[in-house]
Structure 1
Amino acid sequence: MTTFMTILGIVVFIVGLLFSIAWHELGHLSTAKMFGIRVPQYMVGFGPTIFSRRKGDTEYGLKAVPLGGYIRMIGMFPPSEDGTLRKRSTSPFRGMIEDARAAAFEELKPGDEKRLFYTRAPWKRVIVMFAGPFMNLILAVVIFLVVLMSFGINTQTTTVSSVSKCVIPASAKSDKCPAGAKDSPAKAAGMLPGDKIVAFDGRPVKEWGTLQQAIRDTTGPATITVQRDGDRKTLQADLIPNKVAKSDGRGGYVEGEYVTAGFLGFTPASGVIPQTFPQSVDRMSDMMVQGVEALVALPSKVPDLWNAAFDGGERKQDSPMGVVGAARVGGEVFSLDIPPTQRVATMLFLVAGFNLSLFLFNMLPLLPLDGGHIAGALWESVRRAFAKVFRRPDPGPFDVAKLMPVAYVVAGIFICFTLLVLVADVVNPVRLAG
């Protein structure tokens, strides 16, 4: 049964991956057609074509390798300065440029002169190239909201899981009470596991983050109202300053950092709790920030990835994963011993995270990514605006094809990184448990 659920999880993730890719390319396709650009192909996947059908000007199809997708637009790059397509140069860099330019006009037909991508106004090209990543962002936001507000997420609550026996600093290597240690304020006040704290110093509390901050801001006497066995009881506690783990501002902790703050002495219980809309938006904002930070930190992850792939080093939980690793995690999600609703929620979170990563990665202003074409169109707008202000001749379209050598370098780096992640995902994968 576990094997079946693992395979089912992998299949579900791959379906989610293919839908995400198709959704991304649909953004490019719909806006390109809206602006009258001819699109000969809309493909999900790479490699041999499994299925295709032509409708109007466009061939729609599915390819064998589900590692991406593309639409082919006519005239992605302008002709050379003399308005012609030159023969291939013996210079490797010039050859790259001319090959890219030739490919942009490969399927040119009579009447296409007014349906070329590069002839559209820069703002239209920005919309076409931004539409793909934006579709991934929309999908990520919708999934996150559905999961957070309906299924809920594992969150610390105001219910007491355990009560500390004594006062020890959070930085202590052992949680055993040393000789002569004082009872924790929670124990001295008579707090018990299972108590649900509903008010602190007369102020109602409903979530852990609010209660945590109130405790940390307090030293000295405080009243704590708890719900126990259906009744409400008021406990009198005398909070003391103690070294505690630094809060991340969201109810969690910053690993390895400590501050001196008010101390009560209990561990909150966790539960799967639906989030309100403001809470969900706040969490999504945090995810976006964390995603940007992870993208910036990506180069620094290479040494650990190399060690994990070839030297048997530890594969960290925040290590980058490729499609193979993510599919494996998807299989593991479906085999976890958790309620089915939480399996579905976790899988949806995985797909949403993948879409958020697609959005952030594609917005990098580098060719061949969408962000590179956006940057080219924006630069063209700046050049033309500058020429207009100073009454100079229109400089014409910015020739993005001249950046193709850079695009090949970026693509080469990306391929090498992808292969490294693939090896690490196979020989030393990230695991959810154990």
Structure 2
Amino acid sequence: MEILLYVGGILFMLVGLGVSIGLHEVGHLVPAKLFGVRVGQYMISFGPRLWSKQIGETEYGFKVLPLGGFISMSGMYPPSTTSGPAKGMFASLVQDARSANDETIADGAEKRVFYRLPVFKRIIVMLGGPVMNLLLAIMIFTILASGIGVQQASTTIAEISQCVVPAGTSQTACTPDDPAAPAADSGFQPGDVLVSLDGTDVTTFAEASAIIQSSAGRTLDVVVRRDGTDVPLSLTPAPAQRAETDANGRVVLDADEKPVMHTVGYAGITAQLEYARQPIGTGTDMAMQQAGAVAGLIVNLPVKLWDVGVSLVTGSERDPNGPLSVVGVGRIAGEVAAADAPVLNRLVVLLNLLAALNIALFVFNMVPLLPLDGGHIVVALWDGIKRAWAKLTGRRDPKPVDATRLVPLTIVVAVLLIGMGALLLVADLIRPMNLLG
């Protein structure tokens, strides 16, 4: 059964990735057709064709290598104006790109080409794919936050610690010399619902925890609801040493790089976790936060990839905040699906992974380098700037920007992307990231 669940998690992520790529290309396809551009192909994946069907002027299909997708638009670049053999490797590459581009311009459809579109329409077409991934991520995060809810501690008590374990020890069981935990000594029971502490009504465990932590050694009047009846109790939180943390949950260190400790009240109660539905805009906020995190990862990508290489060679643990290949994401999805946890919890993690994957597709495709969508947007913007400057200075309209001149740079970027993918693939197979412990 565990193997079936593991495979099911991988299939869930593969299907989700396929849908995400398919919708990305739909984001390009629909505006291109609406603006009259001739689209010859809509393909999911690359390589040899698995299946296809001609509908109108567009061939829709699937290919073998699940590494992305594409649509083939007529006249992505202006037609070539040079003839004769190209001299030099780079010149040859540029000419080959121009020849391939010329072949997409069908007879009788010379005006239905991408490069003739107004700048804003070209930007809309190229933005369509990444924006589709962003919208899909927002939808998934909204379902998670406002439909299912965000898991948080409730005011219902799940467990009562029986003793106070000495700080800084690995002790997991009580000994006869350990003092009784305040909550156990005060008569708290699992299933009790916290109603008020020290005369203050509480609706979340965070509110109750804040009162307890600020009341070390002071007796509190507590009211709990037990089997529908309010029961008064007295609780005296025991003083305990706790490392101070910042707003991001990181331990604060002093000048000697040691944790900053302070005294807090300790009761010895653990809260039940529940899914609390959030306001409808929470999903969008989560997507934007994730996008910021992915953007930060991309900015530091060379360092992160170096760390992956070091981990691969030395066998050290990989950074849990580092990049992953599709294989790594699939492996984590399989482990989540097979984990010993409630079905809803596993589904939430899988949906989070899928949403994060779409955010990664959105941010990565916005990088302003060809062959990525962001590179095509930069070309369109540069074309618009040239035309605007010509109009402002009273000059003739310049020729359309010929992006085939950037083919050598595009090939360099493509090679780097392939190298990055290969490194992450090998690392995820040989030295997988451990996120679940």
Relative distance call for 1:340 and 1:241 in structure 2 (3 A) is closer
Aligned to 2:408: 405
Which 10-residue stretch deviates more, 218-227 or 261-270? 218-227
Larger CA deviation: 329-338 vs 136-145 = 329-338
Q: What is the letter of the counterpart of residue 137 of structure 1? A: L
Task: Go from structure 1 to structure 2 and tell me whether the alpha carbon gap of 1:79 and 1:418 turns closer, same or farther (over 3 Å shift).
Answer: same
Matches within 5 A, 1:188-207: 195-199=192-196, 202-207=199-204
- Measure, in 2, the Cα distance between the counterparts of 1:332 and 1:150: 25
Alpha-carbon distance between aligned partners in 2 of 1:69 and 1:309, rounded to the nearest angstrom: 30
Which residue in 2 is equivalent to 1:53? Answer: 53
Would you say 1:12 and 2:25 are equivalent positions? no
- Measured in 2, the distance between the counterparts of 1:367 and 1:6 equals 37
2:359 to 332, 356, 359: 356
144-153 vs 367-376, greater mean Cα deviation: 144-153
**Match of 1:77?**
77
Deviations 1:269-324 (A, max 9, x none): 35241431255444444333322223323222223311333332223333321111
Give the share of equivalent positions with the same residue, in percent.
37
1:254 to 237, 243, 250: 250
Find out whether 1:327 has 2:324 as its counterpart: no
1:383-423 Cα shifts (integer Å, max 9, x gaps)? 32233333333334222222222221111111111000000
Counterpart residue type for residue 150 of structure 1 = G
Aligned to 1:156: 153
- Work out whether residues 154 and 273 of structure 2, in 8 Å CA contact, stay in contact via their aligned partners in 1: yes
TM-superposed CA distance for 1:229, in Å, is: 4.9
Report whether the alignment pairs 1:144 with 2:141: yes
Q: Does 1:347 align with 2:343?
A: no
- 1:275 matched residue in structure 2: 277
The verdict on how the C-alpha distance between 1:61 and 1:280 changes in structure 2, with shifts beyond 3 A counting, is closer
Counterparts of residues 4-403 of structure 1 (less than 5 Å):
4-80=4-80, 84-160=81-157, 161=159, 172=168, 195-199=192-196, 202-208=199-205, 225-232=223-230, 233=232, 235=234, 243-248=242-247, 253-255=249-251, 263-265=264-266, 266=268, 268-269=270-271, 271-277=273-279, 278-403=281-406
Q: TM-score, normalised by structure 1?
A: 0.84
- Which runs of no fewer than 5 residues in structure 1 stay unpaired? none
Task: Decide whether aligned partners of structure 1 residues 255 and 416 sit closer, same or farther in structure 2, where only a CA change above 3 A counts.
Answer: farther
Rounded to whole Å, the distance in 2 between the matches of 1:185 and 1:362 is 55
- Cα distance in 1 for partners of 2:86, 2:223 equals 81
CA RMSD, Structure 1 to Structure 2 (Å): 3.4
- How far apart in 2 are the matches of 1:86 and 1:207? 74
Query: 2:275 corresponds to which letter in structure 1?
Result: I
- How many residues were matched structurally? 425
Q: Distance in 1 between matches of 2:165 and 2:377?
A: 57
Match of 2:256 in 1: none
Does the 8 A contact of 2:325 with 2:421 survive in 1?
yes
SS in 1 for 2:70: strand
C-alpha distance 62-132 of structure 1, shift in aligned 2 (>3 A): same
Amino acid paired to 2:377: I
Query: Cα distance 1:267–1:432, how it changes in 2: closer, same or farther (>3 A)?
Result: farther
* SS of residue in 2 equivalent to 1:65: strand
> In the TM superposition, what is the alpha-carbon distance from 1:208 to its structure 2 partner?
4.6
Contact 2:339 2:346 in 1 (8 A): yes
SS at match of 1:40: strand
Q: CA deviation at 1:378?
A: 1.8
Q: Give how far 1:430 is off.
A: 2.4
Contact 1:45–1:68 (Cα < 8 Å) also in 2: yes
In 2, distance between residues paired with 1:68 and 1:256? 43
Residues of 2 paired with 1:333 and 1:241: CA distance? 35
TM-score, reference length from structure 2? 0.84
Aligned equivalents of 2:234 and 2:84: distance in 1? 86
**Structure 2 residues not aligned, in runs of 5+:** 254-258
Deviation at 1:198? 4.1
Quote how far apart the aligned CAs of 1:260 are. Answer: 6.4
Q: Which residue pairs with 2:429 in the alignment? A: 426
Q: Distance in 1 between matches of 2:110 and 2:315?
A: 57
Whether the 8 Å contact between 1:147 and 1:345 is mirrored in structure 2 is yes
Tell me, in whole angstroms, the C-alpha distance in 1 between the residues paired with 2:179 and 2:299. 46
Contact 2:312–2:431 (CA under 8 A) maintained in structure 1: yes
Distance change (3 Å), C-alpha of 1:262 and 1:107? same
Question: What displacement does 1:72 show?
Answer: 0.7
Q: Which is further off, 48-57 or 231-240?
A: 231-240
SS in structure 2 at match of 1:61: strand
